[in-house]
Chains A and B, each alone.
Chain A
Amino acid sequence: MKKSLTVLEDLQTEKKIIFNLEELHNFFISLGFKIGKPQNNPTELTLGLQKDFLFGYVIFFGFGQQSIDIWNDCSYRIPPLEKKDAKEMVAQPIASKILLDQYKNLTPPNVETLYKAIDVLSKLSTQQECIEKLLLEEIYTDNNDLYINNGSLELVSKGSSNG
């Protein structure tokens, strides 16, 4: 069942709640993203927004969840972010030195699309406080769009949304 998650605060409950990709379909569309995977043998990316107890919201970026979990190869930035911050953030992971260019038969990510997606998360972080973690786990780009193949959204429980 596809829910409309445009007003996130309305969905907060007393307990933490996690939405899956199907439930998030309309929410991601409302953010300007597409669901699925383009056909151009794209490079897998990960992007997300989470709450840190010291700094509040942080946005993170990496090349797939495995490289983040195993090698800690990702970058974090504290929003709000400018395009300069997004550029540095995308360039920082070690994998960026190779995967932002043509690598084997992979299509490199479109960095301008990525910068726009980071800007979307940056704005989202300033508009509400109820997200605990938004994880765009398997994402891809083509020249115009950012595609999400797997993602989840965790909302903070009511009464603990001050971060």
Chain B
Amino acid sequence: MDSLDRVLEPQSIAVVGSKSVDNHMWLRTIQPFEGKKYHVNVDRNEWASAKELGFDSFPSILDVPESIDLVIVSVPAQIVPRILKDCATKKVIGVHLYTAGFSETGTAEGIELEKEIERIAIEGNLKIVGPNCMGIFNPKLGIGVNLGRYHGEYGNLAFISQSGSQSVAFAQGSAFHDLKVSKLVSMGNGIILDSHDYLKYLANDDDTKVIGMYLEGIRSGKDFFKQLKEISKIKPTMIWKVGETDDAERAVASHSTSKTSNPKIWDDMLIQCNAIKIDNMDEMFETAKLLAKLDPPKKSGYNLGVLALSGGHATEMANVFSKAGFSIPRLSEKSYNKILTKFNLVGSTYTNPIEGRTLANEDHLNNVLDVLNEDSNVDIIVHEIHISNRNDKLSVYRGHTPEIFCEFKKRAKKPYVVLISTTYPHPSPEDRSMVYKQLTDAGIPAVFGMENTANSLRKYVEYYQRK
């Protein structure tokens, strides 16, 4: 077993910290973990409360009777060197340093202290996550549940972040989008384990299908380039990097002390690696949905069959998707002939995009979906819906409920994407959640907004085109 496996999938964990500082936050965050877990604290007055949470307590790492894979450290920075020396003596594999107060402070004292803990870690062969970070969220094992607020169930999306707050937002946002996380690491200053180490690990992680990263900078460009190029051959990897302007670069320098490269060189490095450039968290979620839920397009992926809400939406969709690089081609004559067998031309259009009153008829709608499914001019089907509720009657498309889409998904031979329109009036949060869940449970990626869908779909198609 690789040593990083034992850090991210540990069989035993010890938490070093005081209740008076964080009310046992780091004990609570691994409470569901079913492996061996210990509380390390010199203050015996806090042992009883740790026992109530299910932890046996010891005054020192060295007193724990069995081997330890991962130690979580939440103590003042000045004490960290002593704890790390104990970890090295104990032959601990990994240490998550929640503690801040190192190089990110910009002070000579903080920088010097970081050098000292780096030296101890190297000499003691300790894999350090951090310092100055929220550490590991592994929902499968019930580790770091304060980040994601769920455990037991897990997804196939991994996230590595230099920011703790972005990590927390991602963990909880992924649940909102019904994606769920396989592994998440808030890596902080990354003094030992750097971004490329996590990429190398995730390349071999069977639970992870898609990877996202939030980066402010990297320490070793060559290592990062090498790992990113390798992993992108097998798993789509989305990179959200900040520090692209002078002001942002200054903000990055004061947050994580990272140095950034010329943004154009960085962007082209991503192209060379076939990594996916992302500019914000919502874009990452929307793109991740397509990458996680859709198989690769069988053909180029740039030719869309489009079902729109109305004539106005059809023209808008043609505009938005063609500007994003897609084609909305004419269908074959055979397809048109088949559509017209069940299609009322009054108030409807059928050339592609397709829309109209006639699609309120379930038979007509299914016929159009089946035609798009068979037509070789179409690589991907994009279906726009709008969630509305009048007099307690839910409708997502011409009076239909989502069931008809879920049924079509079962017989779809090509990628089928639902675009949830964000036009007015907006649906209630309850209706939106219910429809979204129904679609995603059926395996249909549902993306919010027209531009978002076009943008994310282009990133999905480009990844497989360049692969």
Judge whether B265 and A76 touch: CB under 8 Å. Answer: yes
Any chain B CB within 8 A of the CB of A74? yes
Q: B106 at the A/B interface (Cβ < 8 Å)?
A: no
Given contacts A52-B221, A55-B221, A56-B221, contact A88 B262 (CB under 8 A): no
Q: Do B272 and A85 have beta carbons less than 8 Å apart?
A: yes
Which one of B218, B261, B271, B272 lies within 8 Å of A52 (CB-CB)? B261
Closest to A73 in B: B264
> Which residues of B approach A to under 8 Å, CB–CB?
218, 221-222, 225, 259, 261-262, 264-265, 268-269, 271-272
CB–CB B272/A77 < 8 A: yes
Q: How far is the CA of A3 from the CA of B12 in the complex (A)?
A: 67
Contact B264–A76 (Cβ < 8 Å): yes
For residue B225, give the distance in angstroms from its CB to the closest CB of chain A.
6
Q: With A53-B259, A53-B261, A55-B261 as given contacts, are A77 and B221 in contact (CB-CB < 8 Å)?
A: no
- Of all chain B residues, which has the CB nearest A55? B221
Say whether, besides A74-B264, A76-B264, A76-B265, A54 and B271 are in contact (CB < 8 Å): no
A-B contact sample (6 more), CB < 8 A, given A52-B261, A76-B269: A52-B262, A54-B259, A75-B268, A76-B268, A85-B272, A88-B272
Smallest Cβ-Cβ distance to A58: which chain B residue: B265
Q: Which one of A55, A74, A88, A92 lies within 8 Å of B269 (CB-CB)?
A: A55
Q: What DSSP secondary structure best describes chain B's contact surface?
A: helix
Could you tell me the distance between the alpha carbons of A52 and B222 in the complex, rounded to whole angstroms? 11
Q: Complex: how many Å from CA A92 to CA B218? A: 25
Q: Size band of the A side of the interface?
A: 10 to 19
User: Any chain B CB within 8 A of the CB of A78?
Assistant: yes
A-B contact list, 9 entries, CB within 8 Å: A53-B221, A53-B259, A54-B218, A55-B222, A55-B265, A56-B222, A78-B225, A78-B269, A88-B271
Contacts known (A77-B272, A78-B225, A88-B271); A52 close to B265, Cβ less than 8 A: yes
Q: Please indicate the chain A residues that have their CB under 8 angstroms from the CB of B265 in the complex.
A: 52, 54-55, 58, 76
Distance of A56 Cα from B222 Cα, bound (Å): 7
Q: For B269, what are the chain A residues with a Cβ–Cβ distance below 8 Å?
A: 55, 76, 78
A-B contact count (CB 8 A): 38
State the CA gap A85–B268 with chains docked (Å). Answer: 11
The 6 A-B pairs of least Cβ separation, nearest first, read: A54-B221, A76-B268, A55-B221, A54-B261, A76-B265, A77-B272
Q: A54 — which chain B residues lie within 8 A by C-beta? A: 218, 221, 259, 261, 265
Name the distance in Å between B240's Cβ and chain A's nearest Cβ: 17
Is A72 engaged at the interface, CB distance under 8 Å to the other chain?
Answer: yes
With a CB–CB cut-off of 8 A, which chain B residues contact A92?
268, 271
By a CB distance below 8 angstroms, the chain B residues around A77 are 268, 272
Separation in Å of the B382 CB from the closest CB of chain A? 26
CA distance A54 to B264 in the complex (A): 13
Docked complex: A68-87 residues within 8 A CB-CB of B = 72, 74-78, 85
Interface 1/0 per residue, A128-146 and B, CB below 8 Å = 0000000000000000000
Closest to B222 in A: A56
Q: What residues of chain A lie closer than 8 Å to B261, measured between beta carbons?
A: 52-55
Q: How long is the Cα–Cα vector from A76 to B264 in the complex, in angstroms?
A: 8
Assess whether B264 is in contact with A72, with CB atoms less than 8 Å apart. Answer: yes
Bound CA–CA A58/B225 (angstroms): 12
Q: Which residues of B contact A75 (CB under 8 A)?
A: 268
Question: Which B-chain residue is minimally distant from A85 (CB atoms)?
Answer: B272
CB distance from A61 to the nearest CB of B (A): 10
1/0 per residue, CB under 8 A from B, across A87-114: the answer is 0100010000000000000000000000
